[in-house]
Structure 1
Amino acid sequence: MHTEPKGKPDAARRRACLRFRIRRENRFLDDVVRTLDPVDALAWWMLRRDTQPDGLARPGRDHLAERLGVGGDRAAKAIRVLTDMKAARLVYAHRPGMVAVYTVLTPGQLAAINPEAARVVAEREAAETPDERDERRARVDSYLAKVARRREARSKRGRESSLAKNGARRSSTVGSPTSIAGEPTAEVTSVS
């Protein structure tokens, strides 16, 4: 009778988790990160980094806030944004003495690694009513519009600032004679 080495399933599970992580990271970078506020994108990376081989991340709110360099409420908002956008999924809600458990894997990826957690996520998502789904989508749309407005305002300020700097440089050099080295020359007046 042929048996596999004892550590084989764990090694295969780790390789599968790594493949899933790389696919998820590439998808996140290609599709999602440009639409997020920087703190929210960093929160996703922190969750991804905290993901254990079982596909689950267990960040404490205060610990996550400290690592992000923001307050606890802002860290909680970042997690809420990610769960609304389905970039992260809540597996087990916070309970007294326990931290909330999240996953950044898709349901299919999570099912390959941790079928029990995938079942819990599927049940949670199936229990979402159409009104709750519409409300979540409205929050996501509002968030994306707000981020786009902020980016446009930053971009506009940047363009105005660079135009002002370039205009100041030009006006300081117009009309003043310069030498070949670019230094101002002394004006020579002739005495008759």
Structure 2
Amino acid sequence: MYNYQLYLVTDENQDLEQLEFVIREAVAGGVTMVQLREKHGDVREFIKRAQVLKSLLSGTGVPLIINDRVDVALAVDADGVHLGQSDMPAELARRLIGDDKILGLSVENELQLEAAQSLPVDYLGLSAIFPTPTKTDTVHAWGIDGLAKAVVTSQLPLVAIGGINEGNIKAIADTGAAGIALVSAICHAESPKAASESLLALMR
């Protein structure tokens, strides 16, 4: 069982120097998992950033998850991959990465949540809990009640993402979700270390 508790998703608009600073600080503050997200399509840049993060996280016990791209994950021997609904099918991704890597999948509604229960994935990312500026194509916001219901019905661990901050993180944690994924609340904090510590404290 992996520790999804405080799951950092990187901001693809931050340059490599900023990214390194955020990761170092966030890990020192208690982040338990890091997902590298790149949406700009430059695979060489994605691999370069992934290699930097892989060496930064080496020996920390914090897994590196690659968003969307199985090829990038394999290229840098990352700890896992997180897929969206329009990415490679989970069964195929599992065959490529093997059984010892972490595989996550985003689910955006109840039908997807139900269908995902039989897939060879380790966890599900419930997206989005609240509407958020980092995800402009949200069609369905789960809300606290939707998340709480999903936690009860899912046999897979759920990681909540989308619009979560210091003001609502306690209510999210109280649903029993396995983890909470954050972008802005950590990446844009003056001290990502202090932000991570404070968010973890609020979740207890």
Tell me the TM-score normalised to structure 2 length.
0.28
Q: Work out which of the two has the higher radius of gyration on C-alpha atoms and give 1 or 2.
A: 1
Which one has a larger percent helix, Structure 1 or Structure 2?
Answer: 1
Tell me the TM-score normalised to structure 1 length.
0.29
